[in-house]
Chain A
Amino acid sequence: MADEAGKHIGEVLLSASNISLSFGAVHALTDVSADIREHEILAIIGPNGAGKTSLLNCINGVYHPQKGTITFEGEPRADLAPSEIARQGIARTFQNVALFKGMTTLDNIMTGRNTRLGGNFLKQALYWGSYQRDELEHRVLVEKIIDFLEIQAIRKVPVGRLPYGMQKRVELGRALAAEPRLLLLDEPMAGMNVEEKEDMSRFVLDVNDEFGTTIALIEHDMGVVMDISDRVIVLDYGRKIADGTPDEVRANQAVIDAYLGVSH
């Protein structure tokens, strides 16, 4: 929906150039370059094992690529711990839901605010004055996210007891709570039924629309990808084989070969 009125895709927010990552003899990524532009929804697609998750892991610092540089907001970035990258404004969700199972929905999403809800532990131990005010302020914001994702009813339920689709939604909420500039979603709709997929697509579009958040997502459902993304990049065997609007990618011969399989 790149042609939708009122949407301005801006400058390059994050740029990965010539990224290579390998584990021993396994080359997960080879010389991959990709840009993510402000306010866009970028889909990363490709067959299983193409290196999609590895690319996200490099972007948010879970892995450090052996070669190549990542530039965020115009600044080339050193190898930082994931926690520091999160503090720069990159949040993500995981392929296999990575929630804090022993905690409630509310606490999980509140944890997303932790980087902004500092205050030293002594203040927290006293739960007094400014800390209590802070906690309440952040609670208000978290409640907005809970309303937005329509999960009011499960606010106080430990997430371990929730059905899978709901867990995915809570995980999105936790990422949103950090108010990221760049949101990485690793297969947000995997294992969902049609109705749940529709809900999730709507949330992704709304986040992009209402908060202007830049989103990069990995998805296998081509229908969804073509519907919601502004741009698509395609990975195969750790290399980028296509980059363009959904229509361009759909017509790209290399992509068709990768998906249908040609003898290499």
Chain B
Amino acid sequence: MLYRECGQFKSTYRDDQSIFPIAQDRWALWIALAVAIFVVPTIGSDYWLGSIFIPFLIYALAALGLNLLTGYAGLLSLGTAGFMAVGAFATYNLMIRIPDLPFLVAIILGGLIAAAVGVLFGLPSLRIKGFYLAVATLAAQFTIEWVLTTFGWFTNYDASGVISAPPIEMFGYEFKSATSRYLLTLSIVVVLALAAKNMVRSSIGRSWMAIRDMDVAAEVIGIRLLRTKLLAFAISSFYCGVAGALWAFLYLGTVEPQAFDLNRSFQILFMIIIGGLGSILGSFLGAAFIVLLPILINNAAGLFGGAIPADVVSNFELVVFGSLIIFFLIVEPQGLARLWQITKEKLRMWPFPH
């Protein structure tokens, strides 16, 4: 199929403003969705669904949340995992304390609580930016971790600190099999991704990018900085909170603070750097990359027949991640999504590039 724009004339602004103005992109999206809904569950094994596709989707959601904040609004956060933890524990507590609360409602409320906490830690963003803000978000990460491990109420006084998540039931159906959990995750992620795409092409998205690119000019054309920044924190934290809840309930099956440590925050930051800052597609590409790379490295190490000790492999992983971050920042700061865009632009001209 040729990637061509010609012949697709837009006669109304409505067409031009539509979410995917180029027909081939629309088709690609529908095909990807169809594959994700029909093909993946049929051919994917439980291992692939449960240990690769589900974490990939949840990572993508968290990366999307961070990308709204960092990639679009230009506010760097190192507290992503902290906000995920808030979402996970809020959802857990809602589920055990309010009987018969539907899972979806609990997740949304959990996300809203994460959003509120995000706003609280976003308050310093009025005065500070860049790495100063990064330090403030570290405060979020460490404080949240401490609160959750110190006060027994949040873990329902469970001594082990690792709580198995209550089963998820909706419409009389229990989401237990890998396939059902995968499809539930997929639908939540798709809905939230579409909402994010809509936001970034609306006035709120333009306000975010405006304060990212030049905050003084943004203020001078009437954008209220604090409100816009706090809204970015709230919405981003909502996404991260929902991702955290999904991580605990649909992926791990346990609720534990250790799942949301500082390294998780970095991991998600890496996803958006590698995938592309300020790109919805990039959040997905970055998540896929970071989920698949360790598998690739481990398999490559496996070729040596177990001659390489496991901790060397995991340290090698760190080196590869670190190098990739530096590589992308130098060569293609806009990440994989930009590479994809360049390929499309070339394809549009092909075979006559000049």
A and B touch in the complex (CB under 8 A): yes
Interface stretch, picked from B44-52, B206-214, B308-316, is: B206-214
Interface string of A58-72 (1 = CB under 8 A from B): 001010000000000
Question: Whole-angstrom distance from the CB of A101 to the nearest CB of chain B?
Answer: 5
A100 touches B209 (CB 8 A): yes
B220 touches A114 (CB 8 A): no
Interface stretch, picked from B103-111, B159-167, B197-205, is: B197-205
A98 touches B202 (CB 8 A): no
Cβ of A103 under 8 Å from chain B: yes
A-B contact count (CB 8 A): 114
A136 touches B17 (CB 8 A): yes
Cβ of B223 under 8 Å from chain A: yes
Residues of A within 8 A of B225 (CB): 81, 83
B212 touches A178 (CB 8 A): no
Question: Whole-angstrom distance from the CB of A157 to the nearest CB of chain B?
Answer: 13
Q: Given the known A-B contacts A102-B209, A102-B278, A107-B209, are A121 and B17 also in contact in the complex, defined by CB atoms under 8 Å?
A: no
A135 to B225, CA, bound (A): 22
Cβ of A129 under 8 Å from chain B: no
**Chain A contacts with B in 68-105, Cβ cutoff 8 A:** 81-83, 86-87, 91-92, 94, 98-103
A124 touches B203 (CB 8 A): yes
B198 touches A125 (CB 8 A): yes
Residues of A within 8 A of B344 (CB): none
Give the total of A residues in contact with B, Cβ under 8 Å: 41
Cβ of A111 under 8 Å from chain B: yes
Residues of A within 8 A of B207 (CB): 111, 114
A102 to B276, CA, bound (A): 13
Question: Whole-angstrom distance from the CB of A58 to the nearest CB of chain B?
Answer: 13
B219 touches A103 (CB 8 A): no
Given contacts A98-B214, A119-B202, 17 further A-B contacts (CB under 8 A): A82-B219, A100-B213, A102-B212, A102-B213, A103-B210, A114-B203, A117-B203, A121-B204, A121-B235, A124-B198, A125-B196, A127-B19, A127-B198, A131-B202, A136-B14, A178-B221, A178-B222
- 9 residue pairs of the A-B complex, CB under 8 angstroms, read A91-B221, A100-B212, A101-B213, A101-B214, A103-B210, A114-B206, A124-B202, A127-B19, A136-B13
